[in-house]
Amino acid sequence: MKIVKKVKLGDFELFSLRDGEFWLDGGGFFGVVPKVIWQKLTTPDELNRVKLNSNPLLVKTDKHNVLIDPGLGNKYSAKQQKIFKIKYQPTLENSLAEIGMTADDIDIIVATHLHFDHVGACTKIENGKIVPTFKNAIHYFQKNEWEDATHPNERTKGTYFLENYLPLMEAGLVKLIEENVKIVPGISVEITGGHTQYHQIVFAKSNGKIASYWGGILPAVTHIKIPYTMGFDLYPVEIMQKRKELYKRAIAENWLVCLEHEVENPFGYIRLTEDGKNYYFEKKM
Ligand SMILES: [Zn+2]
């Protein structure tokens, strides 16, 4: 079965890759939404966990291979693998191989934020040492997110693992960015806050077409309703405000949306029902 899903965006090519799957506590994933409601959207396992994919997005522009949120990686202890029921299949390597590429072909990495399930794949274990996975890539991280991720507090230390990004800085592969900036032509970021204080979403723009990668702002279709925020979100009220603003822009400008943790096809469009009451996700294919 094919792993990679491909779409055209103007002159760019977008590839939704995979880097394994993991299972998160349903209560944590759905926050204040009661189980009697969320269990109609997804089926929990015997330990009340729900399945999430890791869906990194590769954007091929005319000059660059840009990889957004590389994924989980495979540096987890036996205990962590058990807690999160991590399955390392299909891997990022498998995904890239399917389109005739390797990690060495990636020259730009952009992260929405530095939680382990988004940047775990940025480093790997080689001969007992933790080394960068994408040795030819500059990794663009938001400066204040970097500060938070390198100084985790009691609540955030279960989500920020230094081994995923400190080796990149030591190797001279990190470029810290501030505010909303263009990374390379056609690729830009916009700080949203919400999930983490300096979380950002990533845009790809080519020939008037816009694609957007939402990271923790909208992890999966199950969270399309404005108040369906995660227990892990640090600022849930901000997420609600941000979603309202982003949904309006996404509809007005017909953004292609890519969802990081969706277990089916992650590409689609935000739509509003005719009566103007409910948002929904129209799958691309
Ligand atoms: Zn996160």
Q: pLDDT tens, 136-167?
A: 999 999 999 999 999 999 999 989 999 999 99
Q: How far is the CA of 107 from the centre of ligand 1 (A)?
A: 23
Residue 195 alpha carbon to ligand 1 centre in Å:
7
- Phi and psi dihedrals of 77, rounded to 5? -70, 165
- How much distance in Å is there from the Cα of 11 to the middle of ligand 1? 30
pLDDT at 22: 97
Which pLDDT does position 239 carry in this prediction? 95
Query: Ligand 1: distance of its center to the CA of 152 in Å?
Result: 13
Distance (angstroms) between ligand 1 centre and the Cα of 183 equals 21
* Burial readout 234-252 (b: 16 or more C-beta within 10 A, e: otherwise): bbbebbbebbeebbeebee
CA of 95 to the centre of ligand 1 (A): 22
Distance between Cα 274 and ligand 1 center (Å) = 32
**pLDDT digit string, tens, across residues 101-134:** 999 999 999 999 999 999 999 999 999 999 999 9
**Residue 26 above 90 pLDDT?**
yes
Distance 29 CA to ligand 1 centre (A): 11
Between the CA of 40 and the centroid of ligand 1 the distance, in Å, is 24
Question: Which of 179, 178, 194, 207 is closest to 244 using CA atoms?
Answer: 194
Distance between Cα 176 and ligand 1 center (Å):
19
Domains of the chain (ranges, CATH numbers)? 5-283 (3.60.15.10)
Average pLDDT of the residues of the chain:
96
- What is the per-residue pLDDT across 215-252, written as a single tens digit (0 to 9) for each? 999 999 999 999 999 998 999 999 999 999 999 999 99
Instruction: Read off the tokens for 43.
Output: 């089926």
Distance (Å) from CA 284 to ligand 1 centroid? 24
Q: Calculate what percentage of the chain has a pLDDT beyond 70.
A: 100
Q: Yes or no: say if 112 and 215 are a contact pair by the CB < 8 Å rule.
A: yes
Which pLDDT belongs to residue 265? 86
For residue 219, which of 170, 174, 166, 281 has the smallest C-alpha distance? 281
Q: Residue 285 pLDDT more than 90?
A: no
Residue 88 has pLDDT above 80, yes or no: yes
Could you report the per-residue pLDDT of 50-86, keeping only the tens digit for each? 999 999 999 999 999 999 999 999 999 999 999 999 9
What sections of the chain are H helices per DSSP? 26-30, 35-38, 78-83, 92-98, 116-119, 143-150, 166-170, 236-252
**Distance, CA 113 to ligand 1 centroid (Å)?**
7
Kindly report whether the peptide bond that precedes residue 90 is cis, defined as omega within 30 degrees of 0: yes
Residue 178 Rama label (left phi>0; alpha psi -120 to 50; beta): beta
pLDDT at site 1: 79
| Spatial distance between the Cα atoms of 124 and 19, rounded to a whole number of angstroms | 13
Model confidence at 201, in pLDDT bands (50, 70, 90)? very high
* 115 C-alpha to ligand 1 centroid (Å): 5
Ligand 1 centroid vs 229 CA: distance in angstroms? 12
